[in-house]
Structure 1
C-alpha cells in the first residue's frame, strides 16, 4: 500500500485483482472464451473485408482503368442492333486511343469436348472470333500453349478461356488435341489465364476471323463481297488522362448513324463496385460477433456473481483488516475487466491470425484496420466493466461480520 490514503500500488492492485483468475484458471478461461470468439469474429470480418478490397483494388491498378468496351445494344424498336463492320477501324483514328481489339460472338455455335456430348449440354460455353491483339488490350496472358497467329487464325485452331478449359477438362496441351466447335473439329492451341476485365472471354473458345468465315460461315456482305464479321464487342485502351473524353466519342464514332444503339462501358467500374460492395455482408457477421460478445458478457457476469458468493470469507477478512468498500469494489470490478481484457486480446490475435492465413491463400496483402483491433479490445474492456459492475457493488456492500458468519 502507498504511504498516503491506504491506496494500493499498481503492482499490488494487479496481484489482488488477479487472485480469482489464478485460483480458478479453467473457469476463467471458459468465461473469457465467449469474449475471445466475439472479438475474433469482429477483427476477422473487418480484416478480411479490408484485405479483399485491397487485393481487388491492386488488381484494378494492375489491369488499368483505361479500358473501355463497346457492345451492340438495342434499336428503337427493341430489336437487337449490330455494330458496323468498320467500327474498329474508325475508332483507331480517334485521338488518345492507344489500342483497339475486338471479338465477335458467333451465335448458335457451341463448344463440346467431343461428338458424343448431347447437343443440349453446352455448358454455357461460347464461340468467339477475335482479332490477334486481344491479349495485349485485355492484359490477359497464356496459362499454357500458344496464342493465335496470322497462320493459325486461318485454320481450325482455337484457344480456350480459363473457365472453358476447366469445363471441358483440358488441363494440358498436346499435339492433335481437338474439340468440336459448331459441328467442326478444331485443334486446341492454348489456354488463357483468367480475364477479370472481360469475364465472357473466360467461358469462350477463341478462333481467328478468317477461320470463323471459312469453317463456321460467319460473314457479312460488304458491297457484294463476303467479309468476316461484324464484331460484337470492341475493346479500347485510351490514354489514362483522357478516358472520359474518349468514352464520350466512342458511340458516335463506332456508329455515326445510330450512336444510341451502342453501349459503352468501363469494366474497371464494375470491379471498383465489387470492392465497394465487398463488405455488404459485414453487418451479418458483425452481428454474430456482437452476439458472441453478449454471451461472453453474460458468462463474465455469472462467474463474478459466483465468485462473490464463494469468496465471502475473503471479503469479510479484508474488510475486518481495514479494506474499504471502494477497494473491494475496485478489486472485483478490476477482476472482471482483466478477465474480459484477456479474452479480447486473445480474440484480436486469433482474428489477425485468421485474416493473415486466409489472405495468404488468396495472395492478398494482410490489412487489419486499426479500428478493428482497437475496437475489439475497447469493446472487451467495456463489456468487462459492465458485466462486473453489479457483482463488484454487491461485494462492497457485504458487512464484514455477515460475510465472516455466512462463509
Structure 2
C-alpha cells in the first residue's frame, strides 16, 4: 500500500499505463465508481475500570474503484484498482480507537489523513479469471471488512472459475492483510501470531435456483486448518411468504508447527473445535422474522483471518466466537415500501450467548442488541444518497469484554464514473 499520496491520480495513472496492451474491450467494458462515506461514531465504555472512558471520532472517506474489461483474444488481460483516502474531521488521543482513523504507534495521536492504493492484474481464459495483487474476497474462509470508513484488503492471488453452469470454484493464496484503519500491508496472522500465508480452495454449487451448497478448505500456515460446509435454501411457502434456511459448519484444527497459543485460554489456546451456526428467516410481505442459533464446541476460540468470521452472529460490535460459546439470535426487519415509503428500512436484533470459556471466566455470558434505520433517497438531486443510524448495546459477565453503548451515523453516496 502507498501512504499519504494523491491516490486517485495514481490509480488512473496505473490504468492508463496499461494501455499499450489494451484493445476496445479493455476500455469499453471498464467500470469506475467513487464512493463518499461520512461517518460519526461514539462508543461509550460503561465499566468503571475501563482504561478509556469513550471512543469518539468523525471522519470523511473516499473510495475510488476501477475495474477494466479484458483485452481481446483467447487470453484476456485486465487491471483492477482501489484507492482509499480518510480525512479526520474530529478526534483526539483520548478518544481514538473507533476503527475510523489510523493513529501513531508511539504518539497514539489520530492521523489527520491517510491513503492507500491497491492494484491487481487479472488474466481471463474462457470462464476462469486469475487475479494477482490487491484482493477483496468475500468467501466463508476469508472476507474483507467494510463497516467503517475504509474497507480492508488482502494481497495475494485468487483464481475463480465458472466453467460449469451453477458451479463457482475458488483457489487462492493470501499473503498480506491491510486492515480498515491502516495504510500498511501486514503479515497474515491469527491472534497476533504471524503466518506466511493463508491457502484456500473450494466453491459453491447451485443445485437449483433455490438451493446452493458450499464447501471450502483453508489453511493458515503453521496455525490452523479448516473445513467449511454451507447450505442455503430459499422456499416460497405461499403468495408473499418465503422461508430462507442458512446452515453453516466449520471444523478447525491446528496445523504445522502449532505456533499459536492464546494467553486468554486455560488450555493454552489449542485450536480444535467445531462451529455450527444457522438462521431461519421467514418473510411475510414487508416483514422478515429471523431466528438463529450457534454452538461452538471443542478447544479454543474459532479461528479466522481479518475481522469478519462467517457467522450469523457477526453483528455490530461483537462476533461471539470465544471458546464454547452457545448463542441465540432473534432478528426483525421491515421494509417501509409496504407503507408507501420506498428506500426506508428498519432492523433490530438481539443476541444472547452463554457457556463462554476463557482463562479468567468460566461459563461467561454476553448479549448484544442492535438497531439500524436506513433511508436511501429514491429520486431528485439526492437520488442514491443513503443515511444510516446505528445503535448497539453490549454487556458481558465477569469482565469478558468491556461493556459499551454505541451510536453511529453514516452518510454515503456512490457516484458512477464509467
Classify the TM-score, shorter chain: under 0.3
* Structure with larger Rg: 1
Q: TM-score, normalised by structure 1?
A: 0.19
Q: Which has the higher contact order (CA 8 A, sep 6+)?
A: 1
Q: Give the helix-richer structure, 1 or 2.
A: 1
Q: TM-score, normalised by structure 2?
A: 0.19
